[in-house]
Amino acid sequence: MDLRTLWQHDLAYSFRRSPVTIAAAALALLCVGSALLAPWIAPYNPFDAASLDLNAALAPPAWVDSGVAAHPLGTDDQGRDMLSTILYGTRISLAVGVAAVLFSVTVGVALGLLSGYAGGRVDAFLMRVADVQLSFPPILVALLINGVARMALPNSAQEQIAIPVLVLALGVSGWVQYARTVRGSTLVEKNREYVQAARVIGRHPLAIMLRHVLPNVLGPVLVIATIHIATAIITEATLSFLGVGVPPTTPSLGTLISRGNEFLISGVWWIVIFPGFALVTLVLSVNLLGDWLRDALNPKLR
Amino acid sequence: MTSALPLLRLEGVGRDFDVSRPWLNRVLEGAPRRLLRAVDGVSFEVRRGETLALVGESGCGKSTLARLIVGLYAPSRGRIEFDGVEVSDPARRSEAAPMRRRMQMIFQDPYASLNPRWRVREIVAEPVVVLNLSKDGFKIDERVAELLRQVGLAPEDGAKYPHEFSGGQRQRISIARALAGHPEFLVCDEPTSALDVSVQAQILNLMRDLQARLGLTYLFISHNLAVVSQIADRIGVMYLGRLVELASAADLFARPRHPYTRMLLDAVPDLEMSGRQRTPVAGEVPNPLAPPAGCAFHPRCPHADERCRRESPALQWRGEAAAACHAVEEQRI
Amino acid sequence: MTPVLEITDLRVEFPTRRGSLVAVDGVSLAIAPGEVLGVVGESGAGKSLTGTAVIGLLEPPGRIAAGEIRLEGERIDRLPHERLRRIRGRRIGAIFQDPLTSLNPLYTIGAQLVETIRTHLDLGAGAARERALALLGEVGIPAPEARIDHYPHQFSGGMRQRVVIALALCAEPRLIIADEPTTALDVSIQAQIIQLLKRLARDHGTAVMLITHDMGVIAETADRVAVMYAGRIAEIGPVREVIAAARHPYTAGLMGAIPKIRRAGAARAPLVQIEGAMPRLNAIPRGCAFHPRCAKCFERCRSERPELRAAGSNHAACWLYDERPASAQA
């Protein structure tokens, strides 16, 4: 009985057995797919100033009286089609979320591995840095980095730099959880006999860390990263809502919600509800997938 | 022709572990530093081509000693020489490196001693790659196939992962890996303790066979005297970090001298059902953090006297055999 | 005399997506009061599962698919959970391999003993404590009055196992299932625990099922022994007979593979080695499960599964001992 195929089979099996997970996966795929294909499937390009038609501003969704079929989800105050803005917005949100998580994973895993394997003072130092950082709420850290960047850079560069700075801010606020997990696993694996065997053979410590230990500590990272994508997207939405996230010219779902909020009181509900709904769907489906992955990969629950 | 120079020589080797509580706790509670003497003043030689076994129960330091010899730990005291060259000095690591290449280790746990994410081929080839014995991929594959055959596996097994094999087969893979770099000396840390009896027999037979064919020297560590009787030429008995007896296998079983050795032999279950009288064994291995004063065995020893409670006995040689016991020295037993 | 434990044709299965795996296949045995029956076998033979099935602690999806388990004549394999739970502590005691995990580290051993005693016997707190002290003395804990209020981590491995034995004896059980009780202990302590178990069985008239892979422990402790292979009993008989004159080829191979100390300068021969390994649960051979590894295998062994039959003073599941001259040449 080949255990590896059994495991992979088990994963597929547990996936098939859970209708919630299948639904979540389908939804996530829908969100991601449509976001990726936005330039091709969006009926309009909301960022092309030339295509804006102010006459169509504040049109309600198609099924309400005075809505038009050309704009199924209505338009905003500048005549931009809501469906298109949501598609493009999701794209930005996802891009920022995934990039931030990639950054966190790289930094976190590297530092965690180093900390766990080297031990001693290196470990103590890195873990204190992590502890200090953890005492700041992630939003605060992101705000801080953002603020510093804005002060340090000239106004003209603000636009281009906004997204990379945002990714950096989100990434820096999230590396600690990976570092801690990987450090814990590394401490365990370091004392296992296959690592000792490699040392007896005379392998260089760096080679041992990368080739022996790393493949065995990456498991939990996958689970954390999946759920982290959801949190990163929400944090980005929050930052953008507060006005310190993506620039207004490339709105993410957060920016859309922020803008739409102002119109809510005058009864124009579709500008905030639809982007909000899109955000919730995306985050929920990714979270559910992450939940399933964590349970499916946990040997104790099988 | 066996050279007179022993292959491995230990002189007064000791290793301490600092198991004190964290600094902050110590300061707040006024607690002292705690030092665990895992190995204390061990001296012996291993001759070329022989199998020297080290036996003892938990806490006796045999596993720590194994790791000291292969260089996983540095000794706190004493000296280790391989083929006349000192290998225990961390400052002279580059001189020791060619010596280190001639020794390898086999571990106890067949499930933890192979990287679960590597294929068997990569695992077995690692020493070849690290020691730069060959850069030719084809030659490396050939060597791996040859090694796998030598340990009773098939060359096709190289493509599989460790979890596809049973415990006994994994131990064979470990042995193949250990042999890849053409070592002369193998330190075997309880290689069969985690295996079923019938598999253990296969592995022990394999190890004896390999020793005869390849001219290997073994340091075989075990807690099981019966297993050791199958493979050892000489046997050393350890208790609480010290070597208490050393003799040829035949001598040790026929005329055990140290009271602990006698107790160990007595504790071996009687499969022949000869109905032999068993001296009831007393007490348990004391806490290594707080070893008894004088001779470490005296609380459990039926022959202990005042001197034993005060003075720690040194290893005394009589011909080819040694024992660290006042009663033996004074010829009381 | 009714045996304390009687197992008839026990079958334990694990349903998987690819069909059922049979881990225990048609095991029958009986233990008389005061008797120690050893159940010996290598890993995967099904001996631990047999014990677990008797105690009723089989983890789902594992289940008892067929057969009967009778405790003093009464069937216990089909009982509802609640009744089985009450029987478990009161009439069946259990001793497992790892004394560290068998005791709750957060409670003193006195508290654990008293709780168990009071759950199963109708005693007040004072009387229960008296009984606990008596038990601790009986299992050889020195100064029980001082140690009864200690926590498990304050005991050494051997002492902890003694406490576990005391806990198992609390409610005067009729049967004790001991699963590898000495494997995690040092050799010198093993001998002590073995002696203790034997004495207690004799003194209390308790039946003991001693499950282990260590033939040496069996030789010292058991009256009879059952050798298991691939979920079946290969041979069962008095300990002396099975060890000195094993009838089943597997038992004979096993005894030959066990290293023994030769006292006076006898030459060192290679150990008897049984080629191959125990089959995995999803690949148990047809006919006799041992036949692919057996030097004495013949045609009938490949197709028909042998039942336990008389073989000298033992019973062996082997066609070599079939009286009917029908097929079979050895």
Phi, psi (rounded to 5 degrees) for B254:
-80, -45
**Contact (CB, 8 A) for B161 and B115:** no
Enter the tokens of residue B56.
């003892």
Buried b vs exposed e over B130-146: b needs ≥16 C-beta within 10 Å?
beebeeeeeebeebbbe
Please report the pLDDT score of residue B333 as a whole number: 77
Q: Count contacts between A and C (CB, < 8 Å).
A: 3
Query: Is B21's pLDDT higher than 60?
Result: yes
Residues A240 and A169: their CA atoms lie apart, in Å, by 13
Please report the pLDDT score of residue C329 as a whole number: 46
Query: What one-character DSSP code corresponds to residue A192?
Result: S
- Closest approach of C61 to chain A, Cα-based (Å): 11
Gyration radius of chain A over CA positions: 23
Buried b vs exposed e over B274-296: b needs ≥16 C-beta within 10 Å?
eeeeeeebeebbbebeebbebbb
Please report the pLDDT score of residue A74 as a whole number: 79
Find the helix or strand (DSSP H, E) in which C280 lies: none
Residues C175 and C173: their CA atoms lie apart, in Å, by 5
Residue B117: what residue type? R
Percent share of chain A, pLDDT over 70: 90
Is the model more confident about A78 or about B100? B100
For residue range A28-77, what is the model confidence (pLDDT) as tens digits?
888 888 888 877 777 777 777 666 677 767 777 777 777 777 777 877 77
Which residues partner with C175 through β-bridges? Answer: C92, C207
Enter the tokens of residue B65.
């000693």
**pLDDT confidence tier of residue A8, bands split at 50, 70 and 90:** low
Q: Which residues contact B66 (CB under 8 A, 6 or more apart)?
A: B54, B105, B187, B189, B219, B221
Q: Which residue has the tokens 């060359």?
A: B155
A80 CA to centre of own chain: 26
Please report the pLDDT score of residue B149 as a whole number: 94
**Contact (CB, 8 A) for C9 and C66:** yes
Question: What mean pLDDT do residues A78-85 have?
Answer: 80
Note the CATH number of domain B8-102+184-329.
Answer: 3.40.50.300
Percent share of chain B, pLDDT over 90: 56
SS3 C75: strand
Which residues partner with C31 through β-bridges? Answer: C5
Do A1 and C282 lie within an 8 Å CB cutoff?
Answer: yes
Please report the pLDDT score of residue C223 as a whole number: 93
Reported as half-sphere exposure (CB side, CA atoms, 13 A), residue B44 has a value of 28
For residue range C209-264, what is the model confidence (pLDDT) as tens digits?
999 998 888 988 899 999 999 999 999 999 999 999 999 999 999 998 988 887 65
Please report the pLDDT score of residue C249 as a whole number: 93
SS3 B271: coil
For residue range A101-137, what is the model confidence (pLDDT) as tens digits?
999 999 999 999 999 999 888 999 999 999 998 888 8
- Closest approach of A212 to chain B, Cα-based (Å): 7
The candidate with the shortest Cα–Cα distance to A177, out of A236, A243, A112, is A112
User: Within 10 Å of residue C175's Cβ, how many Cβ atoms?
Assistant: 22
Query: Is C326's pLDDT higher than 70?
Result: no
**pLDDT confidence tier of residue B19, bands split at 50, 70 and 90:** confident
Chain B residues whose beta carbon lies within 8 Å of the beta carbon of residue A2: 164
The candidate with the shortest Cα–Cα distance to B224, out of B271, B163, B276, B168, is B271
pTM of the model: 0.85
Do A197 and B177 lie within an 8 Å CB cutoff?
Answer: yes
In this complex, the residue of C156, C188, C257 whose CB is nearest that of residue B198 is: C257
Residues A271 and A253: their CA atoms lie apart, in Å, by 11
**pLDDT confidence tier of residue B93, bands split at 50, 70 and 90:** confident
Question: What mean pLDDT do residues C307-325 have?
Answer: 84
B1 in contact with chain C, both atoms CB, cutoff 8 A: no
- Considering only CB atoms, which residues of chain B are within 8 Å of chain A? 67, 70-72, 97, 100-101, 104-105, 107-109, 112-118, 126-127, 130-131, 161, 163-164, 174, 177, 181
The CA-CA-CA angle for residues C262, C267, C269, to 5°, reads 90
By CB atoms closer than 10 A (0-12, 13-18, 19+), residue A228 is: buried
Query: Is A301's pLDDT higher than 60?
Result: no
**Contact (CB, 8 A) for C204 and C172:** yes
Query: Is A5's pLDDT higher than 70?
Result: no
Residues B301 and B263: their CA atoms lie apart, in Å, by 9
Q: Tell me the helix, strand and coil percentages in chain C, rounded to 5.
A: 35, 25, 40
SS3 C19: strand
Question: What mean pLDDT do residues A207-214 have?
Answer: 92
Query: Is B58's pLDDT higher than 60?
Result: yes
Residues C297 and C288: their CA atoms lie apart, in Å, by 9
For residue range C15-27, what is the model confidence (pLDDT) as tens digits?
887 788 999 999 9
Residues B115 and A194: their CA atoms lie apart, in Å, by 6
Query: What one-character DSSP code corresponds to residue C270?
Result: P
Find the helix or strand (DSSP H, E) in which A175 lies: helix A155-190
Is the preceding peptide bond at C61 cis, omega within 30 degrees of 0?
A: yes
Mean pLDDT of chain C: 87
By CB atoms closer than 10 A (0-12, 13-18, 19+), residue C53 is: buried
Pick from B49-63, B146-160, C152-166, C258-272: least confident: C258-272
Please report the pLDDT score of residue B155 as a whole number: 93
User: Within 10 Å of residue C89's Cβ, how many Cβ atoms?
Assistant: 18
The candidate with the shortest Cα–Cα distance to B192, out of B172, B178, B162, is B172
B266 in contact with chain C, both atoms CB, cutoff 8 A: yes
For residue range C134-147, what is the model confidence (pLDDT) as tens digits?
999 988 888 889 89
Pick from B319-333, C86-100, C119-133: least confident: C86-100
Q: Count contacts between A and B (CB, < 8 Å).
A: 56
Note the CATH number of domain A13-46+79-301.
Answer: 1.10.3720.10
B133 in contact with chain C, both atoms CB, cutoff 8 A: no
**Contact (CB, 8 A) for C39 and C210:** yes
**Contact (CB, 8 A) for A279 and A253:** yes
SS3 C196: helix
Interface subset of C 11-70, CB within 8 angstroms of A: 17
A299 in contact with chain B, both atoms CB, cutoff 8 A: no
User: Within 10 Å of residue C323's Cβ, how many Cβ atoms?
Assistant: 7
Phi, psi (rounded to 5 degrees) for A63:
-85, -5
Most confident of A142-156, B204-218, C267-281: B204-218
Enter the tokens of residue C214.
């260590």
Question: What mean pLDDT do residues B218-235 have?
Answer: 92
How large is the angle between the packed helices C125-138 and C109-120, nearest 10 degrees?
Answer: 120
Length of chain A: 302
- Closest approach of A117 to chain B, Cα-based (Å): 15
Is the model more confident about B274 or about C72? C72
Please report the pLDDT score of residue C198 as a whole number: 87
Do A13 and C282 lie within an 8 Å CB cutoff?
Answer: no
C38 CA to centre of own chain: 6
Question: What mean pLDDT do residues B174-197 have?
Answer: 93
Residues B161 and B119: their CA atoms lie apart, in Å, by 5
DSSP codes of every residue in B195-216: S-HHHHHHHHHHHHHHHHHHT-
Residues C322 and C165: their CA atoms lie apart, in Å, by 42
For residue range A82-97, what is the model confidence (pLDDT) as tens digits?
888 888 888 888 888 8
CA dihedral over C106, C108, C109, C110, signed as positive or negative: negative
**pLDDT confidence tier of residue B153, bands split at 50, 70 and 90:** very high
CA dihedral over A171, A173, A179, A181, signed as positive or negative: negative
DSSP codes of every residue in B226-291: HHHHTT-SEEEEEETTEEEEEEEHHHHHHS--SHHHHHHHHHS--TT------PPP---PPPTTSP
- Closest approach of A298 to chain C, Cα-based (Å): 18
The ipTM (two decimal places) reads: 0.86
CA dihedral over B290, B292, B293, B297, signed as positive or negative: negative
**pLDDT confidence tier of residue C123, bands split at 50, 70 and 90:** confident
Q: In what order do the strands lie in the sheet with B185-189?
A: B103-106, B185-189, B217-222, B51-55, B234-239, B242-248, B321-323, B316-318
By CB atoms closer than 10 A (0-12, 13-18, 19+), residue A150 is: middle
What are the start-end ranges of the H helices in A119-154? Answer: 120-134, 138-152
The domain locations on chain B are: 8-102+184-329
C64 CA to centre of own chain: 18
The candidate with the shortest Cα–Cα distance to A241, out of A112, A122, A139, A120, is A139
How large is the angle between the packed helices A3-17 and A19-36, nearest 10 degrees?
Answer: 90
Q: Tell me the helix, strand and coil percentages in chain A, rounded to 5.
A: 80, 0, 20
Task: For chain A, list the contacting chains (3+ Cβ pairs, <8 Å).
Answer: B, C
Please report the pLDDT score of residue A7 as a whole number: 55
Is the model more confident about A153 or about B66? B66
Residue C34: what residue type? G
Please report the pLDDT score of residue A302 as a whole number: 40
For residue range C68-113, what is the model confidence (pLDDT) as tens digits?
999 998 888 888 888 888 888 788 988 988 877 888 989 999 999 9
